[in-house]
Every structure is written in structure tokens, then in C-alpha cells.
Amino acid sequence: MVNFEQMPLSKELKRALKGLDYKTPTEVQEKTIPLILKGNNVISKSFTGSGKTAAFGIALAERMLQGRAKSVLILCPTRELATQVGKEIASIIKFTGFKLVTVYGGHKISTELREIGRGVDILCATPGRLLDHFKRRAIDPRIFDTVVLDEADRMLDMGFISDIKEILAFVRPEYTHLFSATLDGSVAQLIQKYIPDYKEVLIEDEIIGKNIIEKTITVSRNSKLRELIGIIKNAGEGRVLVFVSTKRYADKLNYELKDHL
């Protein structure tokens, strides 16, 4: 199996990956990085947890270091994801000197404008807030030659289709990469219209379908925490992974569980 040391990556990136303790690429990274480095558009069916952020982050940072990409725009459905992606990319580009800015709805616009004013090499953004910046002429859309549509299915589910179309019309990127848990339905239409030529990377979710029993418990808001504590206690020595919808709620639940367990 290859490791990052053996991959054709610049020393700045290898040093950052070492710091992050990423030794071997995940499947999506092993398949996606060489394709992006060669100048392909990549469409990838991959899930959260597969390492997809570093897959496009490493490959695009390398292309920028080689002078083969100018600036990169990463579109994300939510502010939680934009922040998370921004943090991971920031650690990858730590030694490159590239400037990363993250913009999202609900964030203070004056802070964003100040950061943008210092220069942008990589921009992580939610669609609505990005259009706001384009319309204020705070950022020139034409600086971006590469666009990543991250969690494209979620962006479409959230009704961002017209925003995405408007953004792509402003930017007119040379390269477009798309990551999504599904590639059919409206995502397929988006690909057909905007990404005519691409290579596909399909990663199956290893968890789905294997030893999973799905159960639904309907609870009132008031009894939710009590039910959850019961489930966790019942799991005994087993580990429990709890998914919640927002970063803020994850923090709140963390405190509540610490009090009760």
C-alpha cells in the first residue's frame, strides 16, 4: 500500500500530513488525488468519514503549489460543514503560505470582509453568503479556476440549486469536482449540465448493510435525553456513536451527558 511519503506531493504538504498523523491515504484519497493532479474533474460518491475533504484538499493544494491552479472555491451546504472543511484544509496548507477564508450565513460580514481584503487563495463558503459577497463585489468570482461542490446532494436537498447555478455562472470554473453521498436524481442533472467531462470515484460506505439493526424510537423533546442515556447505559461495554444535527447541539449534549453518565 502506498503512503503519503511515496506520493508525488510537495514537501510543504508532506510535512503538514506528518503533523496531522495521516500516514496512509484512505481509499477516496488514493483514488482521487492522482486524478485531480492529472487535471481531471472528479465526481465522487463518498460519505462523511471517508477522508474526502483531505482528498480534494491535498490534491488541490498540490496543484496550486505546482502553479497549475489559481484559486479554489469550496461550496458546502451548512456553516458547520464549511467551518469543519475550512479547519481541515487550514491544517493541510499550514506550511504553504496560502490564504484560506471561510464565509457562511450568520457570520459577521465585517469580519469576513476584513479577511477577504487580506487576499483569498482558497475560499470555503455556503452558497447564500457567497452570492452576497459576489454581489457586493467583495470578491471577484473570476479569480477561481477550480470549484468543489461538497455534499452536493445535501445542497440540493436544502434548495440551493438556483444559488449554485448563479455561482457557477459567475465563476465559470475551468475545473469542477463534486462529492456527494448519491449521484442520481437532481445531482445527476447538475453533473450533466455543468461537468461534461469527468472521472468517477465510487466509494461504498463500509458500515451500511453490515451488522446494522435499524430501530426507530419516537420520543418527546422532554424525554429525549433520558431515552438516550438509557440506550447508552444499555450498551454496556460497547461504544456508542451519537449523530446530532448541529455543532452547537453536539456541544450541549456533550455537557449534558457528562453530567449524567
Q: Work out the burial of residue 48: count CB atoms within 10 Å of its CB; fewer than 13 is exposed, 13-18 middle, 19 or more buried.
A: middle
CB of 206 to ligand AMP, least distance (A): 12
Grid cell 464565509 in the structure block, residue: 103
54 scored as a contact of ligand AMP (CB under 6 A): yes
179 scored as a contact of ligand AMP (CB under 6 A): no
Q: Which of 75, 229, 95, 86 is nearest to 146 (CA)?
A: 75
51 scored as a contact of ligand AMP (CB under 6 A): yes
Please, which of residues 17-46 interact with ligand AMP by CB under 6 A? 22, 25-26, 29
10 scored as a contact of ligand AMP (CB under 6 A): no
* Residue in 53, 96, 126, 176 binding ligand AMP, rule: CB under 6 A: 53
The residue among 22 and 144 lying less far from ligand AMP, judged by its C-beta, is 22
CB of 261 to ligand AMP, least distance (A): 24
**72, 92, 101, 249, 259 from 118: Cα distances, Å:** 16, 20, 10, 33, 43
Residue pair 53/61 in contact (Cβ under 8 Å)? The answer is no
Which residues, 6+ apart, have CB-to-CB distance to 208 below 8 Å?
none
Please, which of residues 70-129 interact with ligand AMP by CB under 6 A? 88
CB of 67 to ligand AMP, least distance (A): 25
Residues of this chain that bind ligand AMP (CB under 6 A): 22, 25-26, 29, 48-54, 88
